Amino acid sequence: MKHIHRVKIYYEDTDCGGVVYYANYLRYFERARTELFGAEGFSLKKLAEEGTQFVVAEAFLKYLAPGRYGDVLLVETWAEKIGSVSIVFGHLVVREETGERLAEGRVKLGAVGKDMRPTRLGRDIIQSLVRYGDGAAKGGVR
């Protein structure tokens, strides 16, 4: 299963040529992950207050075609790998109107405590994210 997050492209999202500024795709990935957690009943703010925060350990992004001012984009998000202290999310951005693939990427998040040292993911988080696995994650914790 994939989580879908819709993003409307405003003028502020673009460069002087009306093309989505390259770094914004990472912002869209972040929003999509936050919405995925919310859809599963997890507040990232509440998790942080309880002692589990997520930090980006790695990010990969490949641009395939330009998004443009006025487009509506769909950001598909799934769990590629779920470990005891980390999650690798896959992302694909497509233009809603045509389905054209614009960008794809992967982001590895590490779970850390308030002391910023690695901490184990809660079983409830793991069980929720397994539903978003791409096959590799469906077998459970890696």
CB 52 within 8 A of CB 115: no
- Residue 6's pLDDT band (boundaries 50, 70, 90)? very high
Q: What is the predicted pLDDT for the residue at 135? A: 46
Q: Is the pLDDT of residue 136 over 60?
A: no
Q: What is the predicted pLDDT for the residue at 29? A: 98
Residue 132's CB is within 10 A of a number of other CB atoms, namely 22
Taking only the tens place, the pLDDT of each residue in 93-125 is: 999 999 999 999 999 999 999 999 999 999 999
Residue 109's CB is within 10 A of a number of other CB atoms, namely 19
Taking only the tens place, the pLDDT of each residue in 25-81 is: 999 999 999 999 999 999 999 999 999 999 999 999 999 999 999 999 999 999 999
**What are the residue boundaries of the structural domains of the chain, listed by start?**
3-130
- String of b and e for 44-55 (b: at least 16 CB within 10 Å)? eeebeeeebbbe
Q: Is the pLDDT of residue 3 over 50?
A: yes
CA 20/CA 66 separation, integer angstroms: 7
Which CATH entry fits the domain spanning 3-130: 3.30.300.30, 3.40.50.620, 3.40.50.720, 3.10.129.10? 3.10.129.10
Residues forming a β-bridge with 133: 79
Q: What is the predicted pLDDT for the residue at 142? A: 30
Strands (E), the chain: 3-8, 53-63, 72-82, 86-95, 101-112
Which residues have a catalytic role annotated? Answer: 15
Alpha helices in 1-114 (DSSP H): 24-39, 44-50
